[in-house]
Structure 1
Amino acid sequence: MTSRPDLALLTADDGTRFRDLDHDGVMAPFEDPRLLPDERAADLTSRLSLEEKAGLMFHSIIEMSPDGEPLTGPGMIATMGTEDMVLRRRITHANVHALASSGRATARWANTVQEMAAQGPHSIPVTISSDPRHSMVQNEGAAFSAGVMSAWPEPLGLAALDSPEAVREFADIARREYRAVGIHAALHPQIDLATEPRWGRQFHTFGPDAERVSRIAEAYLDGFQLTAELGPESVACMAKHFPGGGPQKDGEDPHFPYGREQVYPGGRFEMHLEPFRAAIARGVSALMPYYGMPVGLVRNGEAIEEVGFGYNRQVITQILREELGFDGVVCTDWGLVTDMHAMGKPLPARTWGVEHLDADERIIKAVGAGVDQFGGEECPERIVALVRDGRIDEARIDASVRRLLRVKFQLGLFDDPFVDEDAAEQIVGLEEFRESGARAQAASVIVLKNGADARAATAGQAPAAERGAASAAERSTASAATLGPVVLPLPADERRVYVEGFSEAAASRLGTVVADPADADLAVVRLAEPFDPRDDLLLESFFHQGSLEYRPGLVARLRTVAEQVPLIVDATLLRPAILAPIAEIATVLVGSAGVSDDALVDALTGAVEPIGTLPFEIPSSMDAVRASLTDVPGGTADPTFPARFRAGS
């Protein structure tokens, strides 16, 4: 097969080459590549049927087979086949979930989808979007692991680097991989300020510091969008979740009914707007309001309606459009109108504060609030009926359609929506990209406690060669003589190492692996983040929420290990875990957010210097967390480690 489909360009009377998008052999203004995106969008809006306009206002989930074939029916979460979505319902914004097993196969799928779209009356290309997919965490409702693409730290890990240059490098590489396989829009960055330590969505934020988050957001947009005015090489970003999703009551996420309330006991609503002000100034193409509803929020003497932000006219029209001057796309978070049922579990529509409204009334309220597009929904027929019944003005629909089409024209999709399948195979997961991602992972590791001389460690810590009938004191003295201080970077000594949470290959780089800490010179343990497991509603098991404390049995077992051998602990910090009991017993303690086993070994051994600093503070207890103000960064009593901490700095 050819590397990409033929564009089949025609030539106008004046010699201009163009795609005959409406299949009539004549170059209409919207087909003229010389005109500005706004001009082309206005012309095409005037030509579209109501059904085509309504289809543009929905951003649905799309899936493919592992070998890159479009689905002919529903998928794991997608409720319909690709042809039904694109040709029958005219939905031309699609959030892709799992990719195919290779860059070539994914690119082939994207080209097939665009060939399908070209059969429509105006050949409206499909804008293919993606949640984050360049790191470790797999969450079907929020993010995907890197797979064939290069792997980088989670956004919290990028924040730990505190380097706009590193973030810009990541975003540029991710942009190139996205565009290679036909992905044109990023449903990120997530620039919420993570001020509630328990919140389960903060692993994809850049932490709670408004100044740091704003700087990182600007670099992120520079790398993905390239310029304030999108172009054919750009990936259009949808920053989220306006006006800031961090202040969730008790840290519960509003994907679920028990997390619908967002509160501001510290009066910091304006602070949460700061990263969005920065993103708007940088030309972000779209914004996504969150599900949560503000409770008790008063701004400029006016009480804000207690309804979800996607339904809130005061927030979307008055603050975002009129006050902040944003004229880009506003797309709701997924599932604001209809209930979901997938993977054997239900998930109610996130209709917080408007539960009494039926589906049509919810659409009317959201459109009236200023929404341009409904994420995760696929019911354009409802908008068609509402317009024809006079319940929504078609001129209001046209305003949203022009914004949505403008982005497609800016991205060059009407002129060329296809990708080179051969190039995709070469670009995606390029070794240079993988190496850059691995270096960033290792560098993002945060050293929180760095070592003690083996002689000062707990009695009984000694190299296995000296064990046997010797006393604890004798073994400890032998350990000091043989291995010296247990401190990073670890020297290239011959050692026996007991490990937990490592792949076999990565563990072998630390020394000879033994099964019993009593036989080891050193123990290295990777800890998953603590949380309260939940699995009643769809996606709930993916959201790690609740307590930040490690189970007492785990702490007791690690204490036993530490009594036998020097202990190095890596704590996964997708939320700020309560580290005090671990810091007490570990000789070396580091934290990481999206770091592979091999990258962690690089950091521990000094192959890459770990320079990460804490993106948030580490609370001393759950009581301190519960007593803190939900919308205020830090502020817990007697934190174990302050924000921006790194041992030795």
Structure 2
Amino acid sequence: MDVYSIKPKKERKFTVRNWILGTAGFIFLVFVIVFWVAPTIRSRSNFGLLGVEAPVIQVDGVKFRDLNKNGLLDVYEDSRQPVERRVDDLLGQMSLDEKAGMMYIPLVAMNKDGSYGEMPDLTNPLTLVHHTNSETVARLRINHLLLYDYAPPSAIARWNDNIQKMAERTRLGIPVTIGANSLNMAVDYPGSNIYMGSVSHWPFPIGMAAARDTALMRTFGEMARQEYLAMGIRLNLNPLADLATEPRWGKVNSTFGEDAVLSAQLVRAYIQGFQGDSVCVNSVACMVKHFPGGGPLENGEDSHFPYGKFQVYPGGQFDYHLIPFKAAFAVNVSRVMPYYSIPQEKGFQKVGFAFNKSIISGLLQERLGFKGIVCTDWNLIEQQKVLGVMPLDPPKSWGVEGLTDLEKTRMIIDAGCDQFGGEDSPELIVELVKKKMISEERINISVRKLLREKFKLGLFDNPYVSDYSKTDQTVGQKRFVEAGKVAQRKSLVLLKNGLMSGQRILPIRKRLKVYSENIDRAQLAKYGEVTENLEDADLAILKLDAPFEPRNKYLLELYYRQGSLAYSGDERGRLIKIMRTKPTVLCMFLDRPAVIPEIVKESRGFIAQFGIEDGPLLDVVFGVHKPTGKLPFEMPASLEAVEQQKEDTPYDSEQPLFPFGFGLSYEPNSISQK
């Protein structure tokens, strides 16, 4: 009896154990297939589509690359020929598939050693969404790439050369244009830039607006251009010519503020620094955005999200927002990116800007005469999915959500756009042409523009970096780093300088005991005695982020600071308690205007910063340098004042806490405005 009762129990345990082991083994097998076997097979298949590297041929003592490997010097391979002749020759040799691939610029990954990004990487979730390098270049025939996975500079340069070698092995050897987005910011700010520790570091654009120095702006462009070139990056998805007339918008930090004239001056200088007077072999091409000005969003809600799809002009200021774009066109900016929003303005279609023929063809190309490349913002067409299964945020096809992917693609091309940002489906363009929904002649118009830019950049003649030691010598060189620190200091705006022991609290001249938050202790120790105990301190220095409202309904919301401009009650109370305990200097990162009247009142000193490292900040706090910056936007006095503002109108906040252009210096009673 006892034996029979025990035996089935042992069998049951054995069965459960086997089931667990079998399940684990099955999961492991699936993992290996998905993350190693299948990608390896696909990669080998993609590389199998490629031919040989381009031979070098010599004509009249000059060496050329035989990109189409026919043993002859074609016109497009001959650097002595005019650009338009080279474009005509290559366009005549391209297949429809190759033309379609030219019209896409997706995100791609790389390995940290500069090798191809061919395998899914769980530490980099975007590799689970986007195609591999070989799939993109060899199979889809795409030759514009946006790099989002940054590595050491020499590794990026090596990856560029690897990608260019892959492209050289395609049928016509068309080189790749590699783009990047905001590499030189002083702090990491997901959604706006990807921080690179090795480059020179500068304040965010809003900080350059606070510095009010167009010569410094051009210097930034020239220095950053050299760093980009040393890594093989030839396209910069900047500057933002949007105006920050709506303080709640989550991209204020990337603009040059709310004044159109100041923004126009800085946009012009930025582009001239990167491109020169026109695009050439020493240029990094610029893409000005977001046409026709992405700032006046309804209630400040960003149009990356369904709840922010409308752009409004209650103050009738539509043309005011065009002023910085006109400045960009005047200095021959290579590209324009329209935003996602639907304009709530008479005379324009009620669809997103990239779908909007009245905006792209009518306003941009006909009325304003822009002849360059129009590239859409990211992910307008397809629903992105992780491993092709798990859907992410919806495509931002506002106003045309009910159309098929094919119909959306047609509408964008018909509107006048030349390239699709963040998409990688050239088969849709091929289908449109084969079904006679779009003519191949229309496709040729866009491809011609894209080829022209590549030829002007010199990519057909030499797309390689080659000398990686020069990359390391150029990127982050001392002269560039020091210039960036100068800009960081010049961007600081002194907003309040109250009394401490009968004297202005700033600059701090004595070596005091200092309690701090978010400041490097080693840097601070150069100027004072650091203490972690507030009660023991002589004063407090708080480096803070401006308030925002965390959201998590959509994946991208994790990277955007949106919503309320005021601190929560708990945080506001915590800060006020510190300031009532010890004299306090606030150093706040104003990525957007903040509504903080109670906090300003309780502080002894208040410095606005716009993305700065601790060293340059402390240099100003302790008087090594003086603050000279001026506010690039208003600081509203209340949330009610914000709600009563018109989204499209500058400096219209009632009785602002600090007006546009406000800035103190360390001299007694010295205030400069506008």
The answer, yes or no, to whether TM exceeds 0.5 is: yes
Q: State how far apart, in whole Å, the 1-side matches of 2:353 and 2:633 are.
A: 26
Retained in 2: the 8 A contact 1:443–1:603?
Answer: no
Q: Deviations over 1:431-450 (max 9, x none)?
A: 22112112211221110011
Confirm or deny that 1:33 pairs with 2:79.
yes
Deviation at 1:141, TM superposition (A): 4.1
> Do the aligned partners of residues 142 and 42 (structure 1) sit closer, same or farther apart at CA in structure 2, a change above 3 Å counting?
farther
Retained in 2: the 8 A contact 1:221–1:284?
Answer: yes
Retained in 2: the 8 A contact 1:341–1:538?
Answer: no
Q: Determine the structure 2 residue equivalent to 1:594.
A: 611
Deviation at 1:325, TM superposition (A): 0.9
Deviation at 1:340, TM superposition (A): 2.2
Q: Determine the structure 1 residue equivalent to 2:182.
A: 132
Given candidates 408, 426, 433, the residue that maps to 2:480 is: 433
Retained in 1: the 8 A contact 2:150–2:196?
Answer: no
Q: State how far apart, in whole Å, the 1-side matches of 2:223 and 2:391 are.
A: 36
Q: State how far apart, in whole Å, the 1-side matches of 2:277 and 2:477 are.
A: 24
SS at match of 1:591: strand
Deviation at 1:554, TM superposition (A): 2.2
Q: Deviations over 1:260-293 (max 9, x none)?
A: 0000000111111111111011000000000011
Q: Report the AA paired with residue 362 of structure 2.
A: Q
Confirm or deny that 1:281 pairs with 2:330.
yes
Q: Determine the structure 2 residue equivalent to 1:90.
A: 141
Q: State how far apart, in whole Å, the 1-side matches of 2:186 and 2:551 are.
A: 21
Q: Determine the structure 1 residue equivalent to 2:320.
A: 271
Output the aligned Cα RMSD: 1.5
Give identity over the alignment, percent: 41
Q: State how far apart, in whole Å, the 1-side matches of 2:315 and 2:446 are.
A: 36
Q: Deviations over 1:8-50 (max 9, x none)?
A: 64212x4443211111121111111112222211221111011
Deviation at 1:579, TM superposition (A): 2.8
Q: Deviations over 1:185-226 (max 9, x none)?
A: 000001101111000011111011100000001100110001
Given candidates 206, 218, 226, the residue that maps to 1:176 is: 226
Equivalent positions of 1:473-552 (< 5 A) are 485-491=503-509, 493-552=510-569
Confirm or deny that 1:234 pairs with 2:286.
no
Retained in 1: the 8 A contact 2:54–2:67?
Answer: no
Q: Report the AA paired with residue 393 of structure 1.
A: S
Q: Determine the structure 1 residue equivalent to 2:579.
A: 562
Q: State how far apart, in whole Å, the 1-side matches of 2:645 and 2:406 are.
A: 40
Equivalent positions of 1:138-287 (< 5 A) are 138-228=188-278, 230-287=279-336
Q: Which runs of 5+ in 1 are unaligned?
A: 1-5, 456-484
Retained in 1: the 8 A contact 2:54–2:69?
Answer: no
Retained in 1: the 8 A contact 2:55–2:67?
Answer: no
Deviation at 1:452, TM superposition (A): 1.0
Confirm or deny that 1:448 pairs with 2:492.
no
* Larger CA deviation: 25-34 vs 324-333: 25-34
SS at match of 1:563: helix
Q: Determine the structure 2 residue equivalent to 1:62.
A: 108
* Larger CA deviation: 422-431 vs 507-516: 507-516
Retained in 2: the 8 A contact 1:207–1:213?
Answer: yes
Given candidates 380, 386, 389, the residue that maps to 1:336 is: 380
Under a length normalisation based on structure 1, what TM-score does the superposition of the two structures give?
0.91
Q: State how far apart, in whole Å, the 2-side matches of 1:350 and 1:511 are.
A: 51
Retained in 1: the 8 A contact 2:54–2:68?
Answer: no
Confirm or deny that 1:626 pairs with 2:649.
no
Q: Deviations over 1:459-512 (max 9, x none)?
A: xxxxxxxxxxxxxxxxxxxxxxxxxx2432221x22101111112222223311
SS at match of 2:106: strand
SS at match of 2:555: coil
Given candidates 418, 421, 439, the residue that maps to 1:393 is: 439
Retained in 1: the 8 A contact 2:376–2:417?
Answer: yes
Retained in 1: the 8 A contact 2:188–2:195?
Answer: yes
Higher Rg? 2
Q: State how far apart, in whole Å, the 2-side matches of 1:552 and 1:131 are.
A: 36
Q: Determine the structure 2 residue equivalent to 1:317.
A: 361
* Larger CA deviation: 260-269 vs 551-560: 551-560
Confirm or deny that 1:381 pairs with 2:427.
yes
Q: Report the AA paired with residue 305 of structure 2.
A: F
Q: Deviations over 1:325-381 (max 9, x none)?
A: 111000000001012245987211011000110100000000000010000000001
Q: Deviations over 1:155-214 (max 9, x none)?
A: 101111010011111111110000100000000001101111000011111011100000
Q: Determine the structure 2 residue equivalent to 1:469.
A: none
SS at match of 2:302: coil
Q: State how far apart, in whole Å, the 2-side matches of 1:345 and 1:628 are.
A: 37
Q: State how far apart, in whole Å, the 1-side matches of 2:248 and 2:55 are.
A: 54
Q: Deviations over 1:552-594 (max 9, x none)?
A: 2222222222223211001110000113112101111010111
Q: Determine the structure 2 residue equivalent to 1:571.
A: 588
SS at match of 1:548: coil
Q: Deviations over 1:270-319 (max 9, x none)?
A: 11111111101100000000001112x12xxxx21110000000110011
Deviation at 1:645, TM superposition (A): 0.6
SS at match of 1:287: strand
Deviation at 1:385, TM superposition (A): 1.4
Q: Report the AA paired with residue 489 of structure 1.
A: P
Q: State how far apart, in whole Å, the 2-side matches of 1:68 and 1:16 are.
A: 31
Q: Determine the structure 2 residue equivalent to 1:582.
A: 599
Q: Which runs of 5+ in 2 are unaligned?
A: 1-52, 665-669
Question: Once superposed, which parts of structure 1, at least 4 consecutive aligned residues long, lie more than 4 Å away?
Answer: 342-345
Retained in 1: the 8 A contact 2:55–2:69?
Answer: no
Q: State how far apart, in whole Å, the 2-side matches of 1:283 and 1:227 are.
A: 7
